[in-house]
Amino acid sequence: MALAALPLIIFTVIWGVVGIFLPFVVPKGPNRGIIQCILMLTAACCWLFWLCCYLAQMNPLIGPALNKNSILIIAKEWGNNIEDN
C-alpha cells in the first residue's frame, strides 16, 4: 500500500473547502443558488480528477521505458547520478 497521507489530505482539504465550506459563505442574492452549485460541482470534478490520477500511479504495473539519451539527460538534469559499478 503506497498511499501517502499528506497529498491526499492536502488536496481533499483544498477541494473540500471549495466545495463544502465556501457554498455556506456565498453572499445572499438572486444568484446564490447558482454560485453554490458551481462551487460544489467544481470541487467534485477537480477532486475526483486529481484522485484518479493519483490512484492510477499509486501502484504502477509497468515502469517507464526510457531510451539512452533520456536516461543520460535525466541523470544530468534531475540530479540523479548513475553509479559506475
Cβ neighbourhood burial of 40 (10 Å; 0-12, 13-18, 19+): middle
CB of 22 to another protein, least distance (A): 14
CB of 5 to another protein, least distance (A): 10
- Mask for 38-67, x = binds another protein (CB under 8 A): x--xx--xx-xxx-xxxxxxxxxxxxxxxx
Q: Does 20 bind another protein (CB under 8 A)?
A: no
In angstroms, the first-to-last Cα distance of the chain is 32
Q: Which amino acid is residue 35, in one-letter code?
A: I
Which residue in 24, 25, 27, 82 binds another protein (CB under 8 A)? 82
Question: Cell numbers 446564490 label which residue?
Answer: 32
Q: How far apart are CA 37 and CA 18, in angstroms?
A: 11
Residues of this chain that interact with another protein (CB under 8 A) are 1-2, 4, 6-7, 10-11, 30-34, 37-38, 41-42, 45-46, 48-50, 52-68, 70-75, 78, 80, 82-85
